[in-house]
Amino acid sequence: MVELEMLYREVVLEHNRRPRNFRRLAAPCGCTEGINALCGDRLRVCVRLEGEQIIEAAFEGSGCAISMASASMMTEAVTGSTRQQARAMVAALGLLLATGESHTLPDQLCALAAVKAFPSRVKCAVLAWEALRAALAGEHLAITTEDELQYTD
Amino acid sequence: MSAKLHAQGTAALPDIDALRAQFPILHQQVNGKPLVYLDNAASAQRPDCVIDAISQYYRRDHANVHRGVHTLSDRATQIFEQARETAARFINAGSSREIVWTRGTTEAINLVAQSYARPKLTTDDEILITWMEHHANIVPWQILAQQTGAHLRVVPVSDAGELDMEAFETMIGERTRLVAVGHVSNSLGTINPVADIVRLAHAYDVPVLIDGAQAVPHLEVDVQALGCDFYAFSGHKVFGPTGIGVLWARERLLEAMPPWHGGGEMIRTVSFQGSTWNELPFKFEAGTPHIAGAVGLGVALEWFMNQDRVALARHEAQLLAECTDCIESLPGLRIVGTAVDKVSVVAFVADDIHAHDLGTILDHEGVAIRTGHHCTMPLMERFAVPATARASMAFYNTSAEIVRLHAALERAIKLFRA
């Protein structure tokens, strides 16, 4: 099953095992929690900026391998970029998961393109990114990547 | 932590191949592998006879029920009411007047909350539920508590996933107005001692509602032997259609309860000076009902009652034991819910693999399981897990499928721990 091995590539599994920037920020400029109510995933993303530049991005919480790896890769990718550049990256990541196009994204994020073949897991990959977008916009209420909750058993 | 067998004995096992042949959906490939359907606690599958009955109803017999004088309306009414008789027999109700069709267990519980309990409750009153309830047996009571000022009390659950009956005995009392408890836990598989609960509650004249959604596919339910006051179940968990379910209640309770939904069918007369209500059970069935659903459920229950239920239970106990061994044999996997008395539901977590990753990998091996909180978020919190993976077996599952589950889990472990 090639798709499955693409989804769980070593780079993804390695980020899941040893997530980068998985810690609490001492003096964050913005924090937002992302919740996938259906999965139980909860990630809190925090950023520290100097002017318009992101000096630190970090996250805490728990989630599946896809959401953890995506969050870990994201914090590495956006550190040092401007608020504007980070916003563009959030949009490009959304495009990557929707269409598979990745020409504006850093190479290390392209491992996430395999998630596109697993529609039920796309929300896992975007969770941290949506939380980052909200944190950069100063929205501190928790966000969810699910349009509707499922109440059936 | 071996599961107690519910059906002891040495009689022959049922012919599972012959049973499986009647469930067309089971015979397909998923992701290039033969489907292994282990998500029966979420929704079971249905045999050909149920699918055919629904089709035949729409092709030959459909008209609105209890209304027309024409032949089709008579025929539809007759089939519809036959299904109600079947549902009454299925749980040994005293009369089909006690069988109210609902959309499912959830609607049945909401009906009891709003029609039976709401007019009675004051701020001094308590509703007693348990920590292992499905959201469908929590949220209607929370809404009711908000509406009336009454209090919701929650009986704790042990580490094995069994009700703390000592706590139950201290929590029930003069202030309790209703006990609402699941017969079988959807997340843990635990069979609760509902007959004991009824006995303890009735000592205080407290009525008991049993959420039977997860019990009816596994246990032979006799509401008169249980002694409960309300019993609710859903069609789709017991090999019938979705969107149809049953509320059973004692006739004297239903008689005293006001209607919940208003509309056609539930009235006797309507005038602008006031309306009068239809007799039981129609008082609680406003609007055109899900006729085809009821017809399909009737056929499903008839089919199920015609099987050798003891043999099916014995086969399920075997599957439970095999699945339990399967999970326990894999390193780093742990079962959540190790009650002595269980149906064939096995929930588990892995130390280092999230339930959703397990679910995705198993799906790629053709194995369908449920992952997540299973509509029991308080219970997940109780066991300090964000989510679990859950394999839930029906009688049409096989030992070979448990072997497939084992192989798929080994693949997940290999992938994650490479």
pLDDT averaged per 10 residues, chain A (length 153) = 86 95 94 86 95 97 95 97 96 91 85 92 95 92 61 37
pLDDT, position B12: 67
- The reply to whether residue A13 touches residue B136, judged by beta carbons under 8 angstroms, is no
Nearest to A64 among B213, B356, B373 (CB): B356
Chain B from 167 to 226: CB within 8 A of any A CB: 186, 213
* Residue among B364, B374, B387 whose CB faces A4 most closely: B364
Q: Which of B31, B42, B352 sits opposite A153 (nearest CB)?
A: B42
Report CB contact under 8 Å: A42, B386: yes
Would you call B386 and A40 a contact, using CB atoms and an 8 Å cutoff? yes
ipTM (interface pTM) = 0.89
Half-sphere exposure of B214 (CA within 13 A, CB side): 30
Residues of chain B found within 8 Å of residue A4, distances taken between Cβ atoms? 360-361, 364, 415
C-alpha to C-alpha distance for B94 and B91, rounded to whole angstroms: 9
| Distance (Å) from the alpha carbon of B382 to chain A's nearest alpha carbon | 14
C-alpha to C-alpha distances, B328 to B1, B222, B335, B347, nearest whole angstrom:
10, 34, 7, 12
Residue numbers of B between 101 and 130 with CB closer than 8 Å to A: 106
**Is A13 in contact with B418 (Cβ distance < 8 A)?**
yes
How far is it between the farthest Cα atoms of chain A? 48
SS3 letters across A92-116: HHHHHHHHCCCCCCCHHHHHHHHHH
Q: Cβ contact (<8 Å) for B386 and A62?
A: yes
In this complex, do A124 and B134 lie within 8 Å of one another by their Cβ atoms?
Answer: no
Q: Is B374 on the interface with A (CB under 8 A)?
A: yes
Nearest chain B residue (CA) to A64: B354
Interchain CB contact of B345 with A (< 8 Å) = no
DSSP of B248-281: EE-HHHHHHSPPSS-SSSSEEEEETTEEEEPPTT
pLDDT for B33 equals 97
- Enumerate residues 6+ apart whose C-beta is below 8 A from B301: B86, B87, B89, B90, B238, B240
Q: Which chain A residue lies closest to B387 (C-alpha atoms)?
A: A40
* Tokens encoding B196: 């004991």
Q: Least CB-CB distance to A64: which of B41, B354, B364? A: B354
Residue B5: what pLDDT? 44
Q: How many whole angstroms separate alpha carbon B219 and alpha carbon B309?
A: 8
The shares of helix, strand and coil residues in chain A, as percent rounded to the nearest 5, are 50, 20, 30
> Which residues does A contribute to its contact with B (CB < 8 Å)?
1, 3-5, 7-8, 10, 13, 17, 38-42, 62-66, 68, 118, 120-121, 124, 151-153
Do B354 and A65 count as a contact with CB atoms less than 8 A apart? yes
| pLDDT by position in tens, chain B (length 418) | 344 444 444 556 789 999 999 999 999 999 999 999 999 999 999 999 999 999 999 999 999 999 878 999 999 999 999 999 999 999 999 999 999 999 999 999 999 999 999 999 999 999 999 999 999 999 999 999 999 999 999 999 999 999 999 999 999 999 999 999 999 999 999 999 999 999 999 999 999 999 999 999 999 999 999 999 999 999 999 999 999 999 999 999 999 999 999 999 999 999 999 999 999 999 999 999 999 999 999 999 999 999 999 999 999 999 999 999 999 999 999 999 999 999 999 999 999 999 999 999 999 999 999 999 899 999 999 999 989 999 999 999 999 999 999 999 999 999 998 7
The CA distance from A7 to the nearest CA of chain B, in Å, is 10
* pTM score of the predicted model: 0.93
To the query of whether residue B323 is one of the catalytic residues in this protein, the response is no
The burial class, CB within 10 Å (0-12 / 13-18 / 19+), for A99 is: exposed
- Contact indicator for B4, B340 with CB cutoff of 8 Å: yes
What is the rounded CA–CA span in Å between residue A125 and residue A12?
11
**C-alpha to C-alpha distance for B400 and B411, rounded to whole angstroms:** 17
Measured between beta carbons, which residues in chain B are less than 8 angstroms from residue A119?
none
What is the pLDDT at residue B59?
98
Q: How many CB atoms lie within 10 A of CB B48?
A: 12
Task: Name which of A7, A40, A64 is nearest B373 (Cβ-Cβ).
Answer: A40
Backbone Cα Rg of chain A: 14
Q: Kindly name the residue from B49, B228, B326, B375 that is annotated as catalytic.
A: B375
User: Do the chains contact at A8 and B364, CB–CB below 8 Å?
Assistant: no
Residues of A in contact with B372 (CB under 8 A): 38-40
Q: Cβ–Cβ of A42/B360 closer than 8 Å?
A: no
What is the pLDDT, as a whole number, of residue B11? 59
User: Would you state the structure tokens that stand for residue B163, as one six-digit string?
Assistant: 């009700």
Contact yes or no for A153 and B41 at CB 8 A: yes
- H or E stretch covering B341: none
